[in-house]
Amino acid sequence: MVHLRLRPRCDVATVRGCDALATSANVALVGNQNPNFWRFAGRRNADGAVRAAGGAALHAACASLPVVEGRYTRCRTGGAVATSGAFGSLHAGLVVHAVPPNGAFGYGQQRWFGSRGTDVWNGVDDSPDVPSRAQPGGAAKEQLRSTFAAVLAAAEAHGARSVCMPAFGCGVMAWNAGRAAQVAVRTIRAHEAGGGLERVDLALFDDAVFRAFVDAAEEELGRPGVEEGDGVVTYELRCGST
């Protein structure tokens, strides 16, 4: 059995008590290196927070991961990779980097409106790795499901018993929070526990996103959660059930 904990107004970079922290990355795993990227302007996103807290050690760990496709791609859309070590002020020695699909444009990555118009951007100045055509119907939703599933699998593969992740897709990737929440809850509930994962926390920074995840959990499970301190709502999931 896995406990799902929904944490309101929570910054994943400050979370304590979880073996692994997950973040929403780009395929090159370079963080947000373009300050003019319009969708990040004035917004505090999960990866920016995790990178700032993890510091140089986390940047170096990401840079050491192998390129798996093209010139830059270290993690494909819908996948996840893990780095381990002592990372700045982060309170976990395992960081899982996952790449959710873009919900605003239907593409596999962020769209960058820069000096070259409507080129697709993957975190570096040149981005030949990322497809510039829309995905077929249902593909983006499957990639979002795969993103949540990949984080759970990566955390378990590295021996984690607990993992905290953000609401993948609900920030700069512009997914409808209700749809993303439904995908997340169903994916976590269906996860086949094989490595001792006992707890999944979701750091839900925005109040509207938190409400969407509570609604999705109650609809999926048919019962309200148990309220803890600081507004955290907990559900017991029998993993592998439908």
Share of the chain above pLDDT 90, in %: 55
Instruction: Give residue 181's pLDDT band: very low, low, confident or very high (50, 70, 90).
Output: very high
Kindly tell me if the per-residue pLDDT of 106 is higher than 70. Answer: no
Query: Domain segments of the chain: what residues?
Result: 2-100+144-237
Kindly tell me if the per-residue pLDDT of 231 is higher than 60. Answer: yes
End-to-end CA distance of the chain: 14
Kindly tell me if the per-residue pLDDT of 127 is higher than 80. Answer: no
Kindly tell me if the per-residue pLDDT of 133 is higher than 60. Answer: no
The per-residue pLDDT for 102 is: 74
The per-residue pLDDT for 128 is: 43
Number of DSSP helices (H) and strands (E) in the chain, helices first:
4, 8
Residue 146 and residue 110 in contact, taking contact as beta carbons nearer than 8 Å: no
The per-residue pLDDT for 129 is: 42
Per residue in 23-42, pLDDT (tens digit) is 998 888 887 655 455 455 44
- Domain 2-100+144-237 belongs to what topology? Leucine Aminopeptidase, subunit E; domain 1 (3.40.220)
Compute the distance between CA of residue 128 and CA of residue 124 in angstroms, rounded to an integer. Answer: 10
pLDDT, average across residues 89-116: 69
- Which residue, among 155, 16, 147, has the nearest Cα to 84 in the 3D structure? 155
Can you list the alpha helix ranges (DSSP code H) found in the chain? Answer: 46-63, 139-157, 177-190, 207-221
The per-residue pLDDT for 108 is: 39
Kindly tell me if the per-residue pLDDT of 139 is higher than 70. Answer: yes
Residue 97 has phi, psi (to 5 degrees) of -105, 120
Least confident of 104-108, 114-118, 230-234: 114-118
The per-residue pLDDT for 178 is: 93
pLDDT, average across residues 152-181: 91
Enter the DSSP assignment of 30.
Answer: -
The per-residue pLDDT for 101 is: 82
What mean pLDDT, rounded, does the chain reach? 82
The per-residue pLDDT for 201 is: 98
- Would strands 2-8 and 199-204 be described as parallel, antiparallel, or unpaired? parallel
The per-residue pLDDT for 44 is: 58
Least confident of 31-40, 103-112, 132-141, 201-210: 103-112
Residue 18 has phi, psi (to 5 degrees) of -115, 140
pTM: 0.86
Instruction: Give residue 17's pLDDT band: very low, low, confident or very high (50, 70, 90).
Output: very high
Kindly tell me if the per-residue pLDDT of 204 is higher than 80. Answer: yes
